[in-house]
Amino acid sequence: MEDSNHPTLWFQDGNIVLRARSEEGSLLRFRVHQFMLAHHSPVFSDMFTLPNPAAADTYEGALAVDMPDKAEDLKGFLRVLYDPACV
């Protein structure tokens, strides 16, 4: 399986790309909104108060962050934020 953008959790107006590995080993990218993450998670909120390093990684013009979580777990977290009715 090759690296890809998530089909539904990829928003063109998103300002951050979260990257995580799937269980198969491919990289899955999620382009989302910092506001949504910071609003719902104190961990992300704290992370966004730190200055971006001068050599910050980007993907298609958005800040890119490699996540330690499995892509499947990150997908579940983001689905709850963007579609609370899915719970």
pLDDT, position 34: 94
pLDDT, position 1: 62
Integer-rounded Cα radius of gyration of the chain: 13
Cβ atoms of 37 and 82 closer than 8 Å = no
Q: Whose structure tokens read 């198969």?
A: 24
Rounded-to-integer distance, Cα 65 and Cα 7, Å: 18
Residues (pLDDT < 50) of the chain are: none
Angle at 46 between CA 40 and CA 52, to 5 degrees: 120
CATH architecture of 4-86: 2-Layer Sandwich (3.30)
pLDDT, position 87: 66
pTM recorded for the entire structure = 0.90
- How many residues belong to the chain? 87
Half-sphere exposure (Cβ direction) of 44: Cα atoms closer than 13 Å? 18
